[in-house]
Chain A
Amino acid sequence: MILHGISFGISFGILWVSLSFHLLGIAMLMETAAVESLTPFIFDYNTRVVVVGTSLLGLAGGAIGVLLLLRKRALIGDAIAHATLPGLALAFFVATALQIDGKSLWILLPGAAITGLIGAMTVVAIRTFSPIKEDAAMGIVLSVFFGAGIAMMRIIQQMPDGYAAGLEGFIFGKTASMRFQDACLIAVSGATVVGLLVLFRRQVELMCFDESLARTQGWPVTFVDIGLMAATTTIVIVGLQAVGMILIIAMLVIPAAAARFWTWRLWPTIATSSFIGCIGAASGAIISTMAPRVPSGAAIVIVLVILFSFSALFGRKNGTVWRWARRFQQRRETDQQHLLRSIYEWLELKGSKPHDFGQTRSESFLLNDLEFVRNWSPSRLARTANRFQRNGLLVQLSQNRWALTATGIQQCVRAIRQHRLLELYFAQIANLSPEAIDRGADYSEHALDDQMLAELERDIDGASIGYEVPESLHPIGNIQSLNNQSRNEANP
């Protein structure tokens, strides 16, 4: 409970910090002289504007992206982004007709927002009023709106004075054109979006995880959903300049998906996602200012993909490296139990089974003989046996002759008891063939802890077994060697 409280506290702290960071960002750009003396950056003023602007964008995009991901609406951002192009072109037409500067953001961005929202609404309308599925609806809106935009752009290119130059920057992103006002716009809209997120955190939380409950409690889910779309559109249009409409979706999806490798709780995910988005956007912007031929959108996406890959490999939740490590560990433990059991079975077959009382060392055996009970390669046998010797379970008497130590006997008896008790239990509850029982016990014996073992002993009439090792229900030996044996017996 306390831990949860702390983690919530921290993540809300991060959110509030991000909120104030938005406002701080503006201050940082305004107080040029003061900041210049303090800032650790060696960048000039323009670069700083770009870096602050894009990192704020990454912060807000990462936060809103988590909600899109949880609502399974990730790609609607892509549809919105592509649908902004006709809006940009139309706004340019209108502005030119009215003899206003068509490249002003105050003209272009509202136009982009209008068609972007129309695009999102069209997806919803197609899904609601026709039998067309959501994926097709998104593909349709994305490509048809973009086509309309391209058709208009081609006409704008024919207008005098080469006007289109400013508009093409929105397709792939051109951070170099970002000015102080643009960074402020990003900061204000980002702060609004994050602020609304914090304000409506309960509704958002409920809607992400239990939409029906939210509905029955009387929350206007549809309005919150439209709000989410509006927030997404806001982030998309202020991000057009930095990342471009083709790749802006990456700023929403990749940080959120990367954060899922670190935590599965909502607010920590949002905080992590914002952090990743911020780092990725800032480094991408820096790279693209240093290497002028790299489009900023592409640079940001590449950095984000690297961060995502790092998370997918090393993330604490389901990260590949940890998963592999766990699997390796499990296989080692399984091998250990299997070999110990084989030793017991082999010694039992020879009539000299080890006892875990009074015996300090078992009868000796040849490692190669164990192949009769367990179908392992000699090298695997040798490898496991050597590890046992290091752990003090086995002792090597001569070149090929080994024996169990007292600890080894104890663990060996424990392993075999687990297996045979399970076999008995399976035989009792299910009428399976001995081979199936053996295989079933083979799979599940490794998961037994002491408490379950005690339960098993009680269930299988513990009095008659006591602390003895029960007899095996089936002939000992792996199937191949048993077949050979029976063939030899049939044709002596």
Chain B
Amino acid sequence: MQTPWITMDYWLDGWIIVIAILASVSAAILGNFLVLRRLSLLSDAISHSILPGLAAAYLITANRYSWTALIGAIAVGLITVWLTELIGQYGRVDEGASTGIVFTGLFALGLIMIVQAADRVDLDPNCVLFGDIELSPLDSIVTSLGVIPRSAVVLTVCLILNTLFVTLLFRLLRIATFDPQLATSLGVSPRILHYALATLVAITSVCSFEAVGNVLVVTMFIVPPTIAFLLVNRLPMMILVSVSVATLAAVVGHLSAVAVPVMFGYKSTSTAAMISVISGVFLALAILFNVKTGVIVQAFRRTQLAWSILRQDILALLFRDSERGQSARSLRDITKTLLSQSWITAMALRGLVWRGYVNRVNNQTSSQASSSGNSIGYALSNDGRRHAQNLVRSHRLWEQYLATTGTQLDRIHAQAETLEHFTNPALRQQLDSETQQPQSDPHGKAIPPEEK
């Protein structure tokens, strides 16, 4: 296939990017509600099942953009939703399965219509799936503003329609999305909104059909809103973020479609497909690194917490040692006592030494026979002692408090062991006054005073 450019052509590439942005943003605006209402697959179903409507319109008018195409697509879109409900209700299957039956059936019908009419209609079945955005600027109309691609005009109208729908009915949509029962009791039928949403999804699919086809439009409906869903909490913000992500993905997608294959010695590839891939990459980044639930972010936080707990446990252990008059302990002892692994303990100790909480000392006074081979020991510094004292104070205050609340004595140590890591001075103060400033814990150990 002859690609329409070799290097960047500002008129052509400019319009491709504009068309891609218009299609992505129109879809993303509606997609927010699809994702939140768990109707993501509705976009897949409708974008497939509009095919017979479009094919019939092509056969009648031999024109890609016509009112007939729009009406046909809307009709088939609504039929899809209705049939899906019907089959789900009477066939006792879940919504996914009934969707699968309806859209494959309608798509197959449309496919046969297109192939049968291939002589009369210029429509390649493959383009149905991924569109032909590179050629769409070539089909342009002359307006008072200059020569504008037909797709751009159609998609602008579609974008305006979707924006109006979402802004004018914003309150209703929000209630129906988050609290369908409340919406029903306020007299708004979620079912009517469902059908309205389906109609607009059908219109958007038709308008972006030539540019991105019916599989890749699903990306535009679902992926930017999902990214926004991961990043922000409020609906207006989510819509704004999804629109920005859609725009960014369209621009980066087209640039990479032109640039990436050239690196491997080929000409450019499909813009619509690359927008889909780039959106997927953005989504992967959002899943891994978003602040709230990012997989890597969470793993990092968990590791941090685990390290800090281990360091605190070492400090508390050394403090208890010093209460018994033992000044230092070897790495091996610490590892064995805390049921850790030696390299992990070593790392934690290195962190403590670096922070100045622990000093390395020559361990001549070790009383442990097992550590005689290793003469290096670790002892608390003054800073470390202060931290450790507060930790042990937290632990023993918690034990005292738990004992006064009636917890069994053999359970208080384990609970205090967890709680001590999450106790700040204010909470210690409160525990202290709740337990009438005790001098010792239930096991008879002295509770050390608070260190500033």
Interface residues of A (CB under 8 A from B): 69, 72-75, 78, 82, 126, 129-133, 135-136, 138-140, 142-152, 154-155, 157-158, 168, 171-172, 246-247, 249-250, 253-254, 256-257, 260-261, 264, 293-295, 297-299, 301-302, 304-305, 308, 312, 318, 320, 323
Contact = CB atoms under 8 A, between A and B. Distances in A.
Contacts of A260: 91-93
Interface in B104-139: 104-105, 107-109, 111-112, 115-116, 118, 125-126, 129-130
A171 B339 CA distance: 57
A247 B43 contact: no
Nearest to B225: A136
B330 interface: no
B39 interface: yes
Nearest to B47: A143
Interface stretch (B169-177, B277-285, B431-439): B277-285
9 contacts: A74-B94, A133-B35, A135-B39, A145-B280, A147-B216, A154-B273, A250-B108, A298-B115, A318-B90
A324 to B, nearest CB: 11
Interface string B90-103: 11111011111100
Given A75-B96, A139-B40, A149-B273, 9 more contacts: A140-B219, A145-B280, A147-B216, A147-B277, A154-B269, A171-B129, A301-B105, A304-B105, A320-B90
B4 interface: no
Q: Which of A143, A171, A172 has the most CB of B within 10 A?
A: A143
A133 B38 contact: yes
Contacts of B118: 293
B207 to A, nearest CB: 18
B265 to A, nearest CB: 10
B270 to A, nearest CB: 5
A305 B226 CA distance: 33
A136 B219 contact: no
Contacts of B39: 135
B267 interface: yes
A312 B86 CA distance: 11
B228 to A, nearest CB: 12
Contacts of B96: 72-75, 135
B125 A312 contact: no
B391 interface: no
Contacts of A253: 97, 100-101, 104
A305 B105 contact: yes
Contacts of B125: 172, 295
Given A246-B107, A318-B90, A75 B219 contact: no
Contacts of B57: none
A334 to B, nearest CB: 23
B274 to A, nearest CB: 5
Contact of B257 (A146, A151, A302, A320): A151
Contacts of A136: 35, 38, 40, 222, 226
Contact of A151 (B104, B223, B270): B270
B204 to A, nearest CB: 15
Contacts of B99: 75
A172 B219 CA distance: 21
A312 B226 CA distance: 36
B91 A147 contact: no
B293 A257 contact: no
B201 interface: no
B178 to A, nearest CB: 14
A147 B115 contact: no
A150 B130 contact: yes
Contacts of A294: 112, 115-116
B369 interface: no
Contacts of A308: 101, 105
Contacts of B226: 132, 136, 140
B229 A132 contact: yes
A296 to B, nearest CB: 10
A377 to B, nearest CB: 31
A323 to B, nearest CB: 8
B388 interface: no
Given A74-B96, A135-B40, A142 B218 contact: yes
Given A139-B41, A140-B226, A74 B97 contact: yes
A254 B101 contact: yes
B100 A78 contact: yes
B236 interface: no
Contact of B276 (A73, A147, A249, A305): A147
Given A140-B226, A155-B266, A260-B92, A147 B275 contact: yes
Q: Top 5 A-B pairs ranked by shortest CB distance? A: A147-B276, A144-B280, A301-B108, A250-B104, A150-B273
B107 A143 contact: no
Contact of B272 (A126, A139, A147): A147
Q: Which of A126, A130, A247, A256 has the most CB of B within 10 A?
A: A130
A317 to B, nearest CB: 9
